[in-house]
Amino acid sequence: MNDCTKAPRRKHKPSHIITSIEQPFLLSSSSLTGNPADQRLSDNNSTTKPDSIRPRSISGQDSRSKSEPHSAPVYNGEGEVLLGGTASSSQLRLRSRAQHHHHHHRPLVKRCLESLTLFSPTSLTVSIQSQNHQSPRTPMIINPTSTQNIPTKSRWFTFEFGIYWIVLAYSLKLIINAAINLSQAEHPNYDSYKHKLSKGWILNRKIDNSDSQYRRFRLGLPKLGLLLIAYLILSKLSQRLLRLKRVHFQSISSAVILTALHGTSVIKILVIVSLNYLISRLSFSSPLNRLPSVLIWTTNLIILFANDYWDGYRFSHLSNSLGFLDNGLYRGLIPRWQIGFNISMLRLISYGLDYQWAAQTNFATLTRSVEPEVEKERAKINRCQSDYDFQIYFNYIFFPPLYIAGPIITFNNFVSQMKKRPSTITVSAILGYTGRFMLCFLTLEWILHYMYMVAIKDARAWQGDTPFELGILGYWNLIIIWLKLLIPWRFFRLWSLLDGIDPPENMIRCMSNNFSTLEFWRSWHRSYNLWIVRYLYIPLGGSKNMIPSTIIVFTFVALWHDLSFKLLTWGWLVSFFVLPEVIAKKIFSKYSYQSQPWFRHLVALGGTLNVMTMMSANLVGFSIGTDGVKFMWQELLGSWSGVRVLFAILFVVFCAVQVMIEYREAEAREGILRKC
């Protein structure tokens, strides 16, 4: 069928998918009145409370009974619920005026203090759609929160946590001071890496702008900002003045930007994209209906290896007369298009598999009015056949805000948001997200001006450093990696939000707020994780085939990042380090240990070991490599002073994991489950 008409929606398999997280809302009087317009808050930092804390009458029934569908809870002048009461609309209007008058005559200090009570430590986590459960439960055994054992009281201000706060505050001071001291001009190793430093802008300090990946983004940020503004202005003008449909503007702008970026290489890209389009639309009758999916994966993996092996191909290989197309004048702003094509490959597979799963159910038929609001539903629900045409496919692959670096959004999700703008995109949400982006950008700027960790690492200028200083060097390199990835991803996601598309947030938590290996990979490059789960992990068998699936997944992830032995080693290390947590999950899930007082401390101990193994694996894959990690552990274990430093690090990490556990339990008390 070619048209989208109203009919029951059909969902393709797989149906069980780890995905993101419905939007949290802040409990307010409007959420108690049942007014849907008031409940649609613009701030994503809030949270919905479970039904268990809704006001009930003395008899134990909900104050809004079935026999009185229009009844509502009654509030007194302080905004408190009078249980079991009902009120007419005129009474509610009078009461609303009284509350408004009372609010504006309260002392300013009192109102400010009351506003502060709305803040929760969990508000520090990035604003994303969050899953709200009436009975929060633990997705992983490493997280001790459970339905039966959610702490009723916060531990933040207990004597135990007072010790943790003191240890962590003192450790943070040492960690920052040690990194700054290693970066001073008076340090003996300064001459070994000073050639990698550039002129900075903060208090005449030099800046460590030696990371080539982030340097390109940082230097190009002003131009990207101008491109963002020009794109949005032209988009609005073309729709209002020229009456150009949004889908046509996206096609034109994508073609122009693609040509500017890659020049004549756009021909190679279009050949690959067209080939994938043709293969994706192949159809076979059962039992060969899975063959197109296998062909889609096989074709794209071959292209991934071929792009690297032939270095993006050359026209001169086809004919010497075409050699002029390889000239730098025709190759665009980013001649090596194959480096960033890995992101596009994920979109090619997403389109192909979404199309195949939809074709197996004869496609879906739905109208704009029934487009789902929840991210998971948008990804799962099939589209009608006309939504899979080449123009929409082209727009999806080359959508300008997300083309270069993501975040990755599935085809079904993208088309759904093109049909109906998500209600999560509001002015306040965009302003808040812009503020977070600026804060993260300035934080990294300060770090690069005062901590030259990347330059020291690249120059291997750690001769004579103590085991503690080597540990500090590794830790701050991981922090910088986290920030240098987070900042571009948030910039491009912000651009996408301004254009009306809400892709998944890639970095949910701070790098230092993870103690579960499994949950860490759900919050780090989250959009990629959602893609992996949907198109690879579940088709391989998911949790029913966990160990082989995990090994295959991390092998693919490593090779997708870079065809190198270093990253392949990283992938296998991560697969190996996941096993202890998987085994612990299976063991402890059979027994009700979660209610025992010692269980939280056992989890913290396991989380401490997880943190150390995750840091080692990521240092191998993305920082100092196998030789650097080997040298670091030799220094930590090769002398008594190194062993003392290691035990001190383990104790500090143990205290930090206790805080991480309490942070997640605070989320559970608010009815928030982020699964990471």
- What's the pLDDT tens digit per position in 383-395? 888 899 999 999 9
| Pick from 539, 549, 554: nearest CA to 16 | 539
Name, in order, each residue with C-beta under 8 angstroms of 644's C-beta and a sequence gap of 6 or more.
none
Q: How confident is the model at residue 175 (pLDDT cuts 50, 70, 90)?
A: very high
The answer to whether residues 372 and 381 touch, using CB atoms and an 8 Å cutoff, is yes
Tell me the two tokens of residue 551.
Answer: 């090994």
Interatomic CA distance for residues 599 and 631, integer angstroms: 35
Instruction: Read off φ and ψ for residue 395, nearest 5 degrees.
Output: -65, -35
**Mean of the per-residue pLDDT values for the chain?**
79
Q: Does the pLDDT value for residue 628 go beyond 90?
A: no
Peptide bond between residue 407 and the one before it cis (omega within 30 degrees of 0): yes
Whole-number Å distance between alpha carbons of 561 and 449: 29
Residues 541, 648 within the same domain: yes
Residues of the domain holding 73: 29-42+54-115
The residues that bridge with 75 in the sheet, in sequence order, are 81
Q: How many CB atoms lie within 10 A of CB 89?
A: 9
Token code pair at residue 538: 């579940």
Amino acid at 251: S
Residues 463 and 599 in one domain: yes
% helix, strand, coil for the chain, step of 5? 60, 0, 35
Task: Please check whether residues 606 and 566 belong to one and the same domain.
Answer: yes
Residue 42: pLDDT over 60: no
Q: Name the helix (H) or strand (E) containing 206.
A: strand 206-207
Last residue of a domain, one of 70, 98, 115: 115
pLDDT greater than 50 at residue 34: no
3 state SS of 333: coil
Residue 564 pLDDT grade (very low, low, confident, very high; cuts 50, 70, 90) = confident
Residue where one domain finishes, among candidates 68, 85, 115? 115
- Distance, first Cα to last Cα, the chain: 41
* Separation between Cα atoms, residue 76 and residue 86, nearest integer Å: 12
Note whether 271 and 374 are same-domain residues.
yes
C-beta of residue 491 within 8 angstroms of C-beta of residue 402: no
Check residue 286 and give its pLDDT: 66
Whether the pLDDT of residue 301 is over 70: the answer is yes
Domain-located, residue 573:
yes
Place of tokens 């269980």: 599
Q: 336 and 469: one domain?
A: no
Residue 26 has pLDDT above 80, yes or no: no
Domain assignment present for 219: no
Residues 415 and 455 in one domain: no
Q: Is residue 136 part of a domain?
A: no
Alpha-carbon distance of 340 to 390, in angstroms, equals 22
137 has pLDDT over 80: no
Contact in structure between 196 and 206 (CB atoms under 8 Å): no
Picking from 403, 419, 435, the residue at the C-terminal end of a domain is 419
* pLDDT higher at 292 or 100: 292
Interval 510-563: pLDDT, tens: 989 999 888 888 888 999 999 999 999 999 988 888 888 888 998 898 889 877
Show the tokens assigned to 236. Answer: 């609005």
Give which of 50, 59, 60, 54 is closest to 33, Cα–Cα. Answer: 54
551: exposed, middle or buried (C-beta count within 10 Å: 0-12, 13-18, 19+)?
middle
Is 83 domain-assigned?
yes
Higher pLDDT, 471 or 170: 170
What six digits make up the tokens of 61?
């029934």
385 and 463 housed in the same domain: no
Residue 676 reports pLDDT greater than 70: yes
In a domain, 122, yes or no: no
554 vs 265, higher pLDDT: 265
**Is residue 456 a part of any domain in this protein?**
yes
Q: Are residues 528 and 477 in the same domain?
A: yes
Label residue 117 by pLDDT band (50, 70, 90). very low
User: Which of the four pLDDT bands, split at 50, 70 and 90, describes residue 124?
Assistant: low
Query: Do both 326 and 443 map to the same domain?
Result: no
**How many whole angstroms separate alpha carbon 134 and alpha carbon 34?**
17
Asked whether the beta carbons of 392 and 254 are under 8 A apart, the reply is no
Higher pLDDT, 193 or 84: 193
Q: Per-residue pLDDT for 139 more than 60?
A: no
- Annotated catalytic residue, options 12, 262, 449, 561: 561
Q: Are residues 300 and 415 in the same domain?
A: yes
Residue 171 identity (one-letter amino acid)? S
pLDDT of 81 reads: 37
Assigned token pair, 96: 């609303």
- Tens digit of each residue's pLDDT (9 = 90 or more) over 224-252: 999 999 999 999 999 888 888 999 999 99
Contact 273, 397 (CB under 8 A): yes
**pLDDT value, residue 184:** 94
Token pair, residue 339, equals 């480096």
In a domain, 353, yes or no: yes
pLDDT at 111: 53
105 among known catalytic residues? no
Nearest to 577 by CA among 530, 615, 532, 634: 615
Give 659's contacts (C-beta < 8 A, 6+ positions apart): 161, 164, 168
Is the model's pLDDT at 25 over the cut of 50?
Answer: no
Reading the block at residue 558, the tokens are 């490593």
| Residue 164: burial class (beta carbons within 10 Å; 0-12, 13-18, 19+) | buried
Which of 27-31, 125-129, 163-167, 546-550 comes out lowest in average pLDDT?
Answer: 27-31
Are 475 and 389 found together in one domain?
A: no
Query: Within its chain, how far is the Cα of 536 from the centroid?
Result: 18
DSSP 328: G
Give the per-residue pLDDT at 152: 65
Q: Do 550 and 471 have their domain in common?
A: yes
User: Which of residues 84 and 650 earns the better pLDDT score?
Assistant: 650
Highest-pLDDT range among 167-176, 359-368, 597-606, 620-629: 167-176
The number of distinct structural domains making up the chain is 3
pLDDT of residue 159: 94
Q: Is residue 121 part of a domain?
A: no
